[in-house]
Amino acid sequence: AQRVTQPEKLLSVFKGAPVELKCNYSYSGSPELFWYVQYSRQRLQLLLRHISRESIKGFTADLNKGETSFHLKKPFAQEEDSAMYYCALSRSYNTDKLIFGTGTRLQVFP
Amino acid sequence: EAQVTQNPRYLITVTGKKLTVTCSQNMNHEYMSWYRQDPGLGLRQIYYSMNVEVTDKGDVPEGYKVSRKEKRNFPLILESPSPNQTSLYFCASSRATDYGYTFGSGTRLTVV
């Protein structure tokens, strides 16, 4: 069965510290993976797509098929990064089922 | 402005009274989807649609109906709401599976 696991419910760091939000997935095919962010009282926004290999707001994520992981990283956390982060997996062929992890709340202290 | 619009933002209703949450997108997206967000459970997909008149069940479709008669609209219908459907609902649209979704601002539904 397809599943997305975000093992940490809460991650607290100080401003300037490195951040790694963990995401592991289970899927037998070729997944499409995403990170979404939800700031307080705002709608979910797409942060990253693995297929584009981009860096957004200093965040990067690398797909590791061997470890079935898609961890989100940022070298120096900022207070405005405080938000809820969701990892999501989509099957790529003939369907639009998108499965979300349960989310990790990132708190960045000054 | 490109966006997904949901209405209403807040809704309190009684058990068994049929309701519809509307969703509209102005980006000519093929794909649309409904999610519910519950504490500790994250977002779970209710229904999705890959094109007009094409809909399919997500992970938690029980108690919900959808329709996609035109490309821009994807209403969520609760024929007989129950308290366990109290949740935060999000509509989303996408132009392709690998582009990611644009989300609406959410509808907070309370069923008493």
Q: How much is the pLDDT for B97? A: 67
What is the spatial distance between Cα A84 and Cα A103, in angstroms, rounded to a whole number? Answer: 6
Q: Is the pLDDT of residue B63 over 90?
A: yes
What is the spatial distance between Cα A58 and Cα A13, in angstroms, rounded to a whole number? Answer: 16
Closest A-chain CA to B93:
A96
CA distances from A47 to A6, A34, A78, B84, B99 (A): 16, 7, 16, 31, 11
DSSP state for residue B101 in the 8-state scheme: P
CATH fold of the domain at A3-109: Immunoglobulin-like (2.60.40)
Q: Is the Cβ–Cβ distance between B21 and B8 less than 8 Å?
A: yes
- Reported as a single tens digit per residue, the pLDDT across B17-46 is 999 999 999 999 999 999 999 988 889 999
Q: How much is the pLDDT for B89? A: 97
**A82: its two tokens:** 């405080």
Chain B, window 41-100: residues with a beta carbon less than 8 angstroms from a chain A beta carbon = 41-45, 48-50, 56, 58-59, 90, 92, 94, 97-100
The CA-based angle A96-A97-A102, given to 5 degrees, is: 140
Question: A34 CB near a chain B CB, below 8 Å?
Answer: yes
Biggest alpha carbon distance in chain B?
39
Region A67-90: what's the mean pLDDT?
94
Q: Is the Cβ–Cβ distance between B107 and B34 less than 8 Å?
A: no
Question: B31 CB near a chain A CB, below 8 Å?
Answer: yes
Residues 6+ apart with CB under 8 A from A25: A2, A3, A4, A5, A31, A33, A68, A69, A70, A87, A89
Region A69-82: what's the mean pLDDT?
96
Q: Measuring CA to CA, which residue among B64, B66, B78, B76 is closest to residue B19?
A: B78
Chain B: give the shortest CA distance to residue A43, in Å: 5
